[in-house]
Structure 1
């Protein structure tokens, strides 16, 4: 009998073999996060899926608020504007949640921004990495001297509620980056890259911020969401180019967030113009744009 023929030994390829990327512990995560009276009502972990957002949105009509779907790998993950988000298995945190806000629908636009606050603050605290927010929903870290995107957020309405997806690159190595200007917590010299405490911290932080926002009936100012986002937003105070739907481009200084979560640009002609949707490019005063899209 060879060592691989020992009784009870599973034959075929192991479910995971990269010792630097152990799997998440579904039972422990569920025990830590799903509790009576809490926001999270279920937590399911799948090894691979196309998109946690698409999966959860397809079932949104039959699920209660607080359903969480986590994937070890997404093969067809999407970012804003239908851009692809791909990463090796177990190299990051990829999950979606279903929320059913009681706040007025016109205030739901704050939810992806609120999720950004929750994710950035949790990552900064647990991983020891300064994490900034690029409007509207990118998580930025510093790799060397460069500001790079390490995570993103996607929100879409479904089943009378809203599904919010979060993707954060944790242990992605330089040779695995989808584009050279992407980043990860590991490349930013994170003190912690264990995904279990990171995921727990992000979901607990999201529960706390969502509770504040709901308690204020979706009022971003009264709940502290507007001020917290502005404090962590690396876009404010920068010269930017807003690439708007329809092909229009607008250049100016990002000076504020208005009460609807829109980015207010001060243009060269002295006009302050709110931007509610579009792609924001940070501009250097005397060089090329900083960063790049993660496709």
Structure 2
């Protein structure tokens, strides 16, 4: 069958081919594995919202991908949008049997898994900005600049489900960036921007980390998650400004990640405070 190349065709931009659903299912849906189904839609508002709406009827391990996401959501209700087939936009349904107090580690775990998989598959050094941004280095006017290439959003779905969504800029060109502080794997000189390869790497890494974490009852120290996140977190050691609920701000050095996954900030001359919600801005690079 000859593919169509007209407007709206998935083959209209040959530098951005569609995801191969059949190949991905063969690679990821294995007997006894974590992933149980994989669906790809041409476009949707939000894969998180769509998967959450179906969570009650699906087993753990369902994956939903969109070639284009028109109303993707990040933390603090920020939007996430990009040209069709220029990135990875997907959500997974997980039902972790761990204490509720440890669920805050799930988005951090996803960040570690994504950074690990992408570093291996794309050949790009990925860093984590607390709590759930994926950062890359992009050549800018003043040399290498730290840019956000991806983000993670975890949301409750039903009584026992959590939908974890990930948006990643893969082949966005400079003129396509939504804001100057954004980046992409292409702009970070990735050795591969094949989305099938990158998706397999991320989901296999997530399967491994999630399995270790749940087997340890959600204990981040016992499964090595706390150590891995600390090692890959670009926020630690930086002077940061935390914009907190209630229009309060906290400025100081990010000194640690505590046992609940919160960022510990030490203000000059003040007591350390653990930040569990809010926006964190990096004010200076690590020396």
Q: What is the match of residue 270 of structure 2?
A: 270
Q: Say which SS state the counterpart of residue 234 (structure 1) adopts.
A: coil
Q: What is the match of residue 173 of structure 2?
A: 173
1:21 is aligned, of 8, 16, 19, to 16
Aligned positions, number: 279
RMSD: 1.4
Per-residue CA deviation, residues 192-225 of structure 1 (Å, 9 max, x unaligned), is: 0000010000000000000000010000000111
Higher Rg: 1
Distance 1:257 1:98 in 2: 26
Distance 1:267 1:212 in 2: 35
Deviation at 1:105, TM superposition (A): 1.4
Distance 2:115 2:40 in 1: 23
Q: Say which SS state the counterpart of residue 59 (structure 1) adopts.
A: helix
- For structure 2, the 5+ residue unaligned runs are none
Distance 2:2 2:273 in 1: 66
Distance 2:2 2:149 in 1: 40
Distance 1:220 1:9 in 2: 48
Distance 1:151 1:244 in 2: 22
Alignment of 1:78-89 (within 5 A): 78-89=73-84
Q: What is the match of residue 214 of structure 2?
A: 214
Q: Is the aligned partner of 1:96 residue 2:91? A: yes
Q: What is the match of residue 121 of structure 1?
A: 116
- For structure 1, the 5+ residue unaligned runs are 1-6, 286-295
Distance 1:246 1:164 in 2: 27
Distance 1:183 1:9 in 2: 31
Distance 2:42 2:270 in 1: 52
Shift in CA distance, 252/31, structure 1 to aligned 2, threshold 3 Å: same
Q: What is the match of residue 110 of structure 1?
A: 105
The 4+ residue runs of structure 1 with deviation greater than 4 A are 7-12
Q: What is the match of residue 151 of structure 1?
A: 150
Distance 2:168 2:246 in 1: 29
Deviation at 1:267, TM superposition (A): 1.1
